[in-house]
A and B are shown apart, each in its own frame.
Chain A
């Protein structure tokens, strides 16, 4: 969370990004899945930008497009004002240092036959950043930075727990001194207590190294906690983009409203019947006409079926793609009312934090 982020200082920009995957075709007619279909966004230097949506909305594909890990079908990505689609091989390799990614499943993304020291040292070696003793020192430094013991550098990924593997993935991403890191569901495979450790670690690292974070996730509580701005995706499109607090306090798009209403609230005293979204997400191979959300939208009217709503900017600088957002806002399915924790819980949490800090002091492994 940085207040420093200058609104005009854009580090990475997606312009009309499209990614269509086609399948079949030899004997059957090909089906085209429009995973990302015309997405434009700016990511500001130093902010944490979140992309949220349900399975199949295209959020992971968007994350990969932003790093040019896959080639877009259409549109452009600009890093520091320059298109990354035109870069030649050596320029692209340089870019890979600046833009990094952390994956959801740390086990699947670490080479099981390399020890952890080598996994973390690989980017340092690839980019000729250091060699010999200096390289080993850097690896030890990185391991300490992410809360791993440098003495474990000769161990293999399978010897670590899920949370530790995610730390290895983060250390590797940090090895080339990146400017921006995309986290593709970086904590969703982890247990709650480990998830909190990794969230805090990412925030510490962001402050320490002045990183920009792009978090792709489905967990709205994690997003609210971590991000400055949020883009909500549905079937390959951004339906709402806004400052995090504004989005959670007053969601404009009916899909955002439905998403927020569906979150289980961790407070048994605030149980209440919910207005639920009906049905499933339609297939991105055959998205509905007009507004793609109209098949599930409680507010849909005739025009929604026919006309595709453009992403328009509201007077307070938010973006929303809905024909009727003015009328819908505050129509009941609004913000989530998470009641404050009870007095007893607040008191005990404070006590827990006090003792927890004391617990860390004698060891002092993480900065």
Chain B
């Protein structure tokens, strides 16, 4: 996924300047990550053989529906998965020259909130109701930097300005419940960015927000990313959000990455039947064009998960081979991968059977 030099938006090009980006290794490179829950049947990993990478200043969107493993993946990277029941059974995650998955708990804690930070979906449950937002932002700064409390508060105030909170001096002493949902999410972002992280993981950061507030937060995130060059993994189920912010996209289904590639390729030339079905399921904003395409049924429970392609029972194109043999993530075009025996569909499934 380092082949997208031609697709950068003007703003990104300006930001990155003349640095030889193409030769630079990705900031985070995940290879073959597999996570299993102790209670799951043998051989069914909740996240299975997941690979992706993110470069400096870029945004990777992981898209998928409930239970596809997108949040488990992000928690595994942050070292926040509770073991047991969750266990990382395979894979590596190279970040800044070290494998995150082999670090000690102490080393992980030093990274968290410093070089790597995370934003969650529901800001109210992630903020401590008993402390002012200033205290909570400063706490993370004091933990990772050799600064006094007063200096940390000064930095916290800076951060509130950065995330465009009106009357920041006053807000520094406010409690989370005194703020609206959009303001709280801004506080979460301020907290996450307080130590200038190299990687930001945002798990459904705008899902709980109204559409006008969502637009404000997405614009803010994008602007901050341009200013700081932070790499971002954004986890969402909303294809509209993906189209607005992603450089690269990984589509997940039931623990597998089923398709990945540059955002234009995913939207203009989707290959996996799940990606296509998902796009057909979203009502268009233009004039109505007949019924929605649907994906049959629901995600099967772990004990009924096929050992081949996990989309088999719902896929209109599937046959017995699909259920028995897992297709590889095949390259459609450089950088655009799809895990389907029959991609491209019009060639292999174009004629009526």
**Contact residues of A with B, CB < 8 Å?**
1, 54-55, 161-164, 191-197, 199-200, 203, 218, 220-222, 224-226, 245, 248, 258-259, 261-269, 271, 274, 276-281, 336, 338, 340-342, 344-345, 347-349, 351-356, 358-360
Please determine whether A264 and B218 come into contact, CB atoms closer than 8 angstroms: yes
Whether B298 contacts A161 by the Cβ 8 Å rule is: yes
| Interchain CB contact under 8 A, B283 and A199 | yes
Is B278 part of the contact surface with A, judged by Cβ < 8 Å? yes
User: A54–B211 contact, CB under 8 A?
Assistant: yes
Within the complex, the shortest CB–CB distance from B199 to chain A, in Å, comes to 22
11 new A-B contacts at CB < 8 Å, known A218-B211, A277-B216: A191-B237, A196-B281, A196-B295, A259-B211, A263-B215, A281-B210, A345-B267, A345-B270, A353-B280, A353-B293, A356-B316
Q: Are A268 and B211 in contact (CB under 8 A)?
A: no
Mark out the residues of chain B between 184 and 209 whose CB falls within 8 Å of any chain A CB in the assembled complex.
none
**Chain B, 291-310, contact with A by CB distance < 8 Å: what is the 0/1 string?**
11111101000000000000
A274 and B219 contact, CB distance less than 8 A: yes
Are A196 and B212 CB-contacts (below 8 A) given A265-B240, A349-B276? no
A-B contact pairs, 11 of them (CB 8 A): A191-B237, A192-B278, A196-B282, A197-B294, A220-B211, A263-B285, A264-B215, A268-B243, A271-B244, A351-B350, A353-B293
Residues of A contacting B296 in the complex (Cβ-Cβ under 8 angstroms): 356, 359-360
One of B183, B214, B264, B280 near A262 (C-beta < 8 A): B214
Known contacts A196-B294, A266-B267, A352-B276; decide if A225 and B243 are in contact (CB<8 Å): no
Shortest Cβ distance from residue B245 to the other chain A in the assembled complex, whole angstroms: 8
A193-B281 contact in complex given A347-B346, A349-B276, C-beta closer than 8 Å: yes
A265 touching B243, Cβ below 8 Å:
yes
How far apart are the CA atoms of A54 and B210 in the complex, in Å? 6
The reply to whether B267 and A280 contact each other, CB–CB distance below 8 Å, is: no
Max chain A CB contacts within 10 Å: which of B65, B294, B345?
B294
Tell me whether B210 and A265 are in contact (CB under 8 A): no
Query: Are A200 and B291 in contact (CB-based, < 8 A)?
Result: yes
B106 interface hit (Cβ, 8 Å):
no
A345 to chain B, nearest CB (A): 6
Q: B2-34 CB contact bits vs A (8 Å, 1 = yes)?
A: 000000010000000000000000000000000
Indicate whether B288 reaches chain A with its CB closer than 8 angstroms.
yes
**Which chain A residue lies CB-closest to B215?**
A262
Shortest C-beta distance, B204 to chain A (Å), equals 13
Given A347-B346, A352-B277, the answer on whether A280 and B286 have CB atoms closer than 8 Å is: no
B288's partner among A1, A192, A200 (CB-CB below 8 A) is A1
Distance in angstroms between the alpha carbons of A359 and B268 in the assembled complex: 25
Query: What is the CA–CA distance of A224 and B238 in the complex, to the nearest angstrom?
Result: 17
- Given A192-B237, A248-B285, does the pair A268, B264 have CB atoms closer than 8 Å? yes
A203 and B316 contact, Cβ closer than 8 Å, known pairs A262-B214, A263-B240, A267-B243 = no
Please determine whether A264 and B288 come into contact, CB atoms closer than 8 angstroms. Answer: no
Scoring A203, A267, A281 by chain B CB atoms within 10 A of each residue's CB, the highest score goes to: A267
Asked whether B287 is an interface residue with its Cβ less than 8 Å from the other chain, the reply is: yes
Question: Shortest distance in angstroms between A194's beta carbon and chain B's nearest beta carbon?
Answer: 7
Contact of B269 with A262 in the complex, beta carbons under 8 Å: no
Chain B residues near A203 (CB-CB < 8 A):
291
B279 at the interface (CB under 8 A from A): yes
* A248 CA to B284 CA, complexed, in Å: 12
Residues of chain A within 8 A (CB-CB) of B284 are 221, 224-225, 338, 341
> Does residue B263 face the partner (Cβ distance < 8 Å to A)?
yes
Which A residues touch B286, using CB under 8 A?
338, 340
Rounded to whole angstroms, the CA-CA distance of A66 and B238 in the bound complex is 32
Whether B268 contacts A193 by the Cβ 8 Å rule is no
Residue among A163, A259, A336 making CB contact with B212, cutoff 8 Å: A259
Is A195's CB under 8 angstroms from B285's CB? Answer: no
Q: Is the CB of A345 within 8 A of B279?
A: yes
Q: Cβ of A352 and Cβ of B291 under 8 Å apart?
A: no
Taking the closest CB of chain B, its distance from the CB of A212, in whole angstroms, is 19
B215:A352 contact, CB within 8 angstroms:
no
1/0 contact string of B226-247 vs chain A (CB within 8 Å): 0000000000011111111010
B57 within 8 A of A: no
In the complex, are the beta carbons of B270 and A280 less than 8 A apart? no
In the bound complex, residues from chain A placing their C-beta under 8 Å from that of B294 are 193, 196-197, 200, 356
Contact call B293/A222, Cβ cutoff below 8 A:
no
* Beta-carbon contact of B264 and A269 below 8 Å: yes
Check B276–A348 contact: CB distance below 8 A: yes
Q: What separation, in Å, do the CA atoms of A348 and B343 have in the docked complex?
A: 11
CB distance from B246 to the nearest CB of A (A): 7
Q: Which A residues are CB-close (under 8 A) to B281?
A: 192-193, 195-196
Q: What CA separation (Å) do A349 and B345 show in the bound complex?
A: 10
Contacts of B131 in A (CB 8 A): none
Contact B288 A225 (CB under 8 A): yes
Identify which of A162, A266, A276 contacts B239 (C-beta below 8 A): A266
* Chain A residue at smallest Cβ distance from B239: A266
Kindly state whether residue B182 has any CB partner on chain A within 8 Å: yes
Q: Are B212 and A276 in contact, CB atoms less than 8 angstroms apart?
A: yes
Contact between A258 and B292 (Cβ–Cβ < 8 Å)? no
On chain B, the residues within 8 Å of A274 by CB distance are 215, 219
CB-defined contacts of B295 to chain A, threshold 8 Å: 193, 196-197
Determine the chain B residues whose CB is within 8 A of the CB of A248 once the complex forms: 285
Residues of A within 8 A of B242 (CB): 266
B324, CB-defined interface residue at 8 Å: no
| B293–A342 CB distance below 8 A | no
Least Cβ distance of A256 to chain B in Å? 11
Q: Which of A271, A280, A338, A360 has the most CB of B within 10 A?
A: A280
B280 to chain A: closest residue by CB: A349
